[in-house]
Amino acid sequence: MNYGQHGKQEWIKTTCAYCGVGCGIEAKVETSMHSADLIVQVKGDQTHPANFGRLCSKGLALGETVVNQGRLLQPFIGSEPSNWDQALDLVAQKFQRTIEQHGPDSVAFYVSGQLLTEDYYVANKLMKGFIGSGNIDTNSRLCMSSSVAGHKRAFGTDTVPNVYADFEQAELVVLVGSNLAWCHPVLFQRLKAAKSQRPNMKVVVIDPRHTDTCAIADLHLPIKPGADVLLYNGLLAYLAKQECLNDAYIESHTEGFPEALACATADFNDATFFDRLGVPPSLVTTFYRWVAQTAKTLTVYSQGVNQSSAGVDKVNAIINTHLATGRIGKPGCGPFSVTGQPNAMGGREVGGLANTLAGHLEFDNPRGHELISEFWQSPQLATAPGLKAIELFDAVADGKIKALWIMATNPAASLPNSNKVKTALSNCDFVVVSDCIADTDTTRLADVLLPAQGWAEKSGTVTNSERRISRQRQLIESAGVAKPDWWIVAEVAKRMGFGDQFNYASEADVFREYAQLTTLGQDEPSCRRDLDLSGLTDISDRQYQNLEPLQWPFPAPDPAHLPKRFFAEGKFYTANQRGQFIAVGYRPPQTATSVDYPLVLNSGRIRDQWHTMTRTSLAPRLCGHRPEPFVSVSAMDAKAHSLNEGDIAQIDSPYGSCLGRVRIGEEVSPGQIFMPIHWNDTNSSKGRISAVVSPEYDPISGQPEAKFTPVQMSPWPYQSEAMLVTRVAVELPEECYWVKQTVEQGLLYYIASLASPAELSAQLNALLGEEFQVNALGFTDTGRGFTRCARVRVGRLVDCLVVADRLADKDYGWLADLLVSRIDTSVQRSILSGIAEGDLAHGKQICACKKVGLKTLQRAISEQGLTSVEALSLATDAGTGCGSCLPELGEILKQFPAGG
């Protein structure tokens, strides 16, 4: 790429690589003054309608992840380096031979919401159109497939009715199963800003956990896990009883209301209603009254609803209340599913789910099937849905699927019951993995590795949660010989004999074909649907390159860029154009707690990390806020299980076990615990929570039950702990607990062991080996087994080790800064004393955007007498980036008050 004069490039508009908000980004690439390395600067795109310049901590740190560290730079066959021709020939031959011997359903693709729409389209076309099987599914199955199924049942198509502008226009925003502050921070800041401008706006949070999202809530309903259908059935019955229904809308535009109301009333009238909800009647009644009184009610829901064995019913219970009140398709109201991945919506559009065909046409639509078959010139278009994610990997385990291609995802770490998944992949005849990262839990199990482009190298489109298509543009040349995913799939298709149908010159070719597919049958009643990109079918390469964010449907250019909502006047995509009420009754999670497994495990994301951390772990600033796997537990349950703050707890289920640091607080209620999903076998020894999570799933959507796993919790009886700072990775003893964190110019390890401190110290020193021309600093208390030591070469740290019987209650995070510090006299004193001095004394990181630590905040509070979040933020810059840490600043002010 030409960087122009002085190695500089202009700002390029592109799209964030993380959640479904779909934030616009501007990026600029520069060459370093001291090396050939590239520096990627990132800022929010002020003109993008999804974020108007806002970015979260992850988005702000994207430039730090554009590194060659850990990249897959060339194809591998087994453990041997290869080239593209050899690897692609082998993939095509293996798939072709497997299909010939065992049929098309013996092979499968497992793809990802990290793919671009063009990648998704080509992969779906090959599997369903030319291999002739429905066996392509996506990790979006774990994210929003219950919403897809709920939309189809109610609307006839997978239609999201709302737009982001509804956040500003609503008068009551209900957040259900959504920690918006951490999982969709830009939308949270947008909602917070709207609420500050309109104080009469109310926000309700419905979540078993008390999360940072509750900081702006007027009401929090900590319902029991899985009780959403019960709550919303009660709401529907209440609205009917209070005569707050829109009878005209129900009569003119819907059907099925009497049956839905009968189910809802049966649940509401049950004498155990409030006990099963687990919320005081006064709070529930307040919520119901607010909804009844507020026409502009917006219900925003996410994984707490979707990731459930009753997820589809939960979605329809929510939608029922909006259909019954006619609060849909109008400004400020409606049921709004916010997705988890940057292109979960794009995958839904092109057919990336096993149970959809393509372009929002379905398997059960004969005319749609005929149109796609003719359009693709496919003689063997799949006639039936394929296997959904859990079923797919069960089929791998059973030997029914013998060749599997995994693209841009890490199922060995992310799927529930992941020990079974890893065994299945180990035993599968042929596993191909396309990825940009070389070492993941899944790439370790591949027979062939194919190097795909990373975020900054890819070019194509993504669709966000409000149906807005944005361009992702190439910023840098590919690392090694990495290629676009669409190109990789097309090359295999050519080698399988389908060259004429996969002869694309560019991603723009793919996009034009996809846009053309959305026009098929739109003038026929049986194929009429929401997704229409007919206004983009003749887009030129130049127009594609310059494409500005736009919302579908897009039948023609829309210079006014008006928000596009659905269903205010009915016109649903069902056979009779009526919205469908779905009669749903409350049913508890499939597996109940027991004497052996008395606690409910809820899993989810944390603020600064993403999925299995293959990208976010590359940015040091994203690793400091929650550096280890942790278990959030109530004080009552901690006491009952003999656990203290900072201990290590072992969590067991019938499927596996993991370890995590204990965090005691009021976030979860007694009987419940929470653990994050991000750690895996490449960055921790025992932090893979997916080994514990139940594989139960919704029978309609196939989405796993990630929010309700019965578990047991017990202390892990470690005898010693250590922190190790080093410039290179080390192989730690298998029996240890360890977590690896990226820091500037090296790695920080958190370690615990069943061995004594002295034994652990000896083990670790032996692993580090000898270094030449180093000065050694050290302090040892032989009696207590306490050790602090460091090795320095020419004023720079080589490595540093601290060992004790317990370190969890001590602040040693500053050790990581030693790798970028000059080891002068004051730093040597800090190493020997164990107490940070000067610039090292910033404390545990609180604000990732501005890199502000706890001790910096405490000093500002004490020295300046600060009493408000606004004053603390102004004094330290904390919270002035994405704002996600602002609720935590409030908690710090309570814990460390000025003058306290």
Q: What is the pLDDT of residues 879-895, one digit of tens each?
A: 998 898 999 999 999 98
pLDDT at 3 (0 to 100): 30
What percentage of the chain has pLDDT greater than the value 90?
A: 86
Residue 846 has pLDDT above 50, yes or no: yes
Contacts of 121-124 with C-beta under 8 Å, sequence gap 24+, read 121/350, 121/358, 121/486, 121/510, 121/513, 121/514, 122/485, 122/486, 122/489, 122/490, 122/493, 122/502, 122/504, 122/510, 123/352, 123/407, 123/485, 123/486, 123/489, 124/350, 124/351, 124/352, 124/358
Tens-place pLDDT, residues 455-503? 999 999 999 999 999 999 999 999 999 999 999 999 999 999 999 999 9
| Nearest-angstrom CA–CA distance, 289 and 372 | 49
Q: Kind of pairing, strands 460-463 and 172-176?
A: unpaired
The pair of three-digit structure tokens given for residue 261, joined into one six-digit string: 């109301």
* Average pLDDT across the chain, whole number: 94
- Pair type for strands 12-15 and 24-31: antiparallel
Alpha carbon distance 672, 221 (integer Å):
15
The end-to-end CA distance of the chain, in Å, is: 57
- Per-residue pLDDT band for 2 (boundaries 50, 70, 90) equals very low
Q: Residue 55's CB: how many other CB atoms inside 10 A?
A: 26
The arithmetic mean of pLDDT across residues 175-189, rounded, is 96
- Cα 869 to Cα 212: distance, rounded to the nearest angstrom: 14
pLDDT at 221: 98
- Domains defined along the chain, listed by start: 5-65 (3.30.200.210), 76-143+353-507 (3.40.50.740), 159-337 (3.40.228.10), 599-715 (2.40.40.20), 720-840 (no CATH), 845-895 (1.10.10.1100)
pLDDT tens per residue across span 413-422: 999 999 999 9
User: What pLDDT shows up at residue 657?
Assistant: 98
pLDDT tens digits, residue range 90-149?
A: 999 999 999 999 999 999 999 999 999 999 999 999 999 999 999 999 999 999 999 999
What element of type H or E holds 193?
Answer: helix 185-197
Q: Does residue 8 have a pLDDT over 80?
A: no
Which residues lie across from 631 on neighbouring strands? 662
Residue type at 900 in one-letter notation: G
Task: Give burial (CB, 10 Å; 0-12/13-18/19+) of 178.
Answer: buried
Band of residue 34 on the pLDDT scale cut at 50, 70, 90: low
Residue 9 pLDDT > 90: no
Question: What pLDDT is stored for residue 4 in this prediction?
Answer: 32
Return the pLDDT at 418: 97
The two structure tokens encoding residue 486: 């669409």
More confident residue, 879 or 832: 879
Residues in the chain: 900
Whether residue 351 is predicted with pLDDT greater than 90 in this model: the reply is yes
Per the structure block, which two tokens stand in for 790? 């460091």
Cα–Cα dist 101/96, whole Å: 9
Question: How much is the pLDDT for 1?
Answer: 32
- Give the pLDDT of residue 35: 57
